[in-house]
Amino acid sequence: MKNWLNQHILAIQLVLQRLQTHWLNTLTICMVIGITVTLPGLLFVGLDNLQDASRSIKQDAQISVFLKPALNGNVIQRLINDIQPLPQVKEVRFVPKEDAIKQLGQQFSQKDLLADLPQNPLPDALFITLADTHPATAKPVQAQLQSRAEVDEVVIDSVWIERLNSMLLLGKRIALIFATLLGIAMITVISNTVRMQVLTHEAEIEVSRLIGATHSFIRRPFLYMGSAYGLGGGLVAVALMFAIVWSLKQPVQLLANNYQSDFQLVFHLVNIGGLILLSSAMIGWIAAFIALTQKR
């Protein structure tokens, strides 16, 4: 156990030492990787911010629920009581069909609309204001309402938000494609570098193997090396993104103010930054793994 830990500490020390010896090389690779990661990273941050913005849009999303005719007041009240406590629901307003026809009449400034009709054609309705505008918020409420016998029809008044969200989804997909392409570029760069390192340490590898080094002992430093390049590149990317977002913050705020919005550009350092560091270290490891597998 102690030996096992020793082996890993030793490999890490070795890697750090090699990185330090060839610091200019290390820096160059980390910069290249960092810039490579920054581009799709910024796209993600932009989309993330747009999504935040779309959630906080002041206009509330609403669901209109048309009830079956001739429901008893108690039944309606029970339905309201069931919906009200849902976390996605901000407010429930009941509009009886008599009020609805009156409103309609006012809109058409025809006071005796009711008089011309044999009976009121409008149903009783509930208007539900949702907690936010995300489509995922509306869906479960809609489903629950549709399953109720008292409910005739459910209409979500947030088509444009869905449209925005599907555009965001498209944007994210595009960013993902970019990220994948650049990830492949990153793997190529790192695995090439690791392959060069394997070549320069060929003598050491040969001797080590001859005097009893295991396969994993020989591979370990190179795998750590790949991860280190990935991590280094990730750090550069996070720093760059942080700087870029910071420098855009003020202009974006000014722009938002012009539209009476309190929108703020944010960079979720822990979420996005952490994700970038983790995935770039992993990509580095994979790249090194590929380099070592091709070597044989």
* CA R_g for the chain: 30
CB of 10 to other proteins, least distance (A): 6
CB of 190 to other proteins, least distance (A): 23
Choose between 6 and 106: whose C-beta lies nearer to other proteins: 6
Choose between 192 and 208: whose C-beta lies nearer to other proteins: 208
Chain residues binding other proteins by CB under 8 A are 2-4, 6-7, 9-10, 203-204, 206-215, 217
Choose between 3 and 147: whose C-beta lies nearer to other proteins: 3
CB of 197 to other proteins, least distance (A): 13
Give the Cα separation of 122 and 69 in Å (integer). Answer: 9
Helix axes 2-21, 215-258, angle to 10 degrees: 60
Give the Cα separation of 75 and 73 in Å (integer). Answer: 5
- Contact, 54 vs 164, CB < 8 A? yes
CB of 46 to other proteins, least distance (A): 47
Choose between 9 and 155: whose C-beta lies nearer to other proteins: 9
H or E segment and range at residue 94: strand 89-95
CB of 198 to other proteins, least distance (A): 15
Kindly list the distances between the CA atom of residue 8 and the CA atoms of 23, 43, 62, 99, in Å, as whole numbers in the listed order. 22, 37, 57, 76
Q: Tokens for 215?
A: 């396969």
**Strands lying side by side in the sheet with 151-156:** 89-95, 125-130, 62-67, 151-156
Choose between 70 and 203: whose C-beta lies nearer to other proteins: 203
Q: Nearest 5°: phi and psi at 163?
A: -65, -45
Looking up tokens 């409103």 gives 103
CB of 18 to other proteins, least distance (A): 11
Which residues face 64 on adjacent strands? 127, 155
CB of 210 to other proteins, least distance (A): 6
Choose between 18 and 134: whose C-beta lies nearer to other proteins: 18
Choose between 207 and 269: whose C-beta lies nearer to other proteins: 207
